[in-house]
Amino acid sequence: MKRTVTAVAFDLDGTLVDTMAVVPGVYVDTIRSLGGPDLDPGQVTAIWHIGPTATVLGHFLGRRVTAADLDHFYATFRVAAAPIRPFDGIAAMLDALREDGYRVGVYTAATGRAAELMLTTAGLIDRFRAVVGGDQARRPKPAPDGLLQLVGLLGTTPGQTVYVGDSDVDLRCAEAASCRPILAGWGGSRTGSGPRPGPGTAIARTPQDVVAIVRDRGR
């Protein structure tokens, strides 16, 4: 029998890796050191869905962001990212999905450069067939552009793809792309408005629940 799900796509921050104690502080430190305002992390997380790193930095700096500004951000990020680790059960979940033959990828609002750094630091980078960052998408989430790009790289269709994320913007992105949404309930949505799962959204309390849901819906 032909599978109805062939690929599983993931958000990154708050879904695969626990970055909320690190990344907002990197923005705060970078913006301050580049002459911007003193911020608290909540001010950053409230708006970082607007786009990738350059867009967020430019929002607070009130000017065009240069290559040197981004290099400064990533130098700060590289040091701060050292303790980043996956949530418990993530590696086993990814291994189980791949062993079952599902194509696995990442679409994140973070830049491709930041995503690669986080996934490498967390020891996960080799588990993914493709990674799409927010700077590679024409429009940010919840627009479907980046997720549809990932679907193409995975060689499947939106209807055969599940998108797992921890926030409302992830669920809306999945719906806009006609992918099947799964709410990642283990990290807790701490950015923007809280998730509002619709009737077609499955809720995974643990990473292992994702495997069970995909197997059940993918038959």
Domain assignment present for residue 1? The answer is no
pLDDT tens readout for residues 27-50: 999 999 999 999 999 999 888 878
Q: Determine the pLDDT at residue 107.
A: 98
Q: Determine the pLDDT at residue 192.
A: 41
CA atoms within 13 A on the CB side of 18: 12
Residues 108 and 38 in one domain: no
Mean pLDDT (the chain, rounded): 92
Residues 207 and 170 in one domain: yes
Residues 62 and 92 in one domain: no
Residues 89 and 38 in one domain: no
Instruction: Report which of residues 3 and 15 the model is more confident about.
Output: 15
Parent domain of 71? 23-80
Residues 199 and 99 in one domain: yes
Residues 64 and 171 in one domain: no
What's the mean pLDDT in 2-18? 92
Residues 140 and 171 in one domain: yes
Residues 154 and 47 in one domain: no
Q: CATH no. for residue 118?
A: 3.40.50.1000
Domain assignment present for residue 121? The answer is yes
pLDDT band at 219 (very low <50, low <70, confident <90, very high): low
Q: Determine the pLDDT at residue 190.
A: 44
What's the mean pLDDT in 189-196? 52
pLDDT tens readout for residues 177-192: 999 999 999 975 444 4
Domain assignment present for residue 2? The answer is no
Residues 113 and 35 in one domain: no
**How many structural domains are present in the chain?**
2
pLDDT at 198 over 90: no
pLDDT at 162 over 50: yes
Q: Determine the pLDDT at residue 217.
A: 76
Residues 139 and 208 in one domain: yes
pLDDT band at 1 (very low <50, low <70, confident <90, very high): very low
Residues 127 and 64 in one domain: no
pLDDT tens readout for residues 74-113: 999 999 988 899 999 999 999 999 999 999 999 999 899 9
Please report the DSSP string for 37-71 in residue order. Answer: ----HHHHHTTGGGSSHHHHHHHHHTSPPPHHHHH
Residues 6 or more apart in contact with residue 60 via CB below 8 angstroms: 27, 31, 36, 37, 39, 44
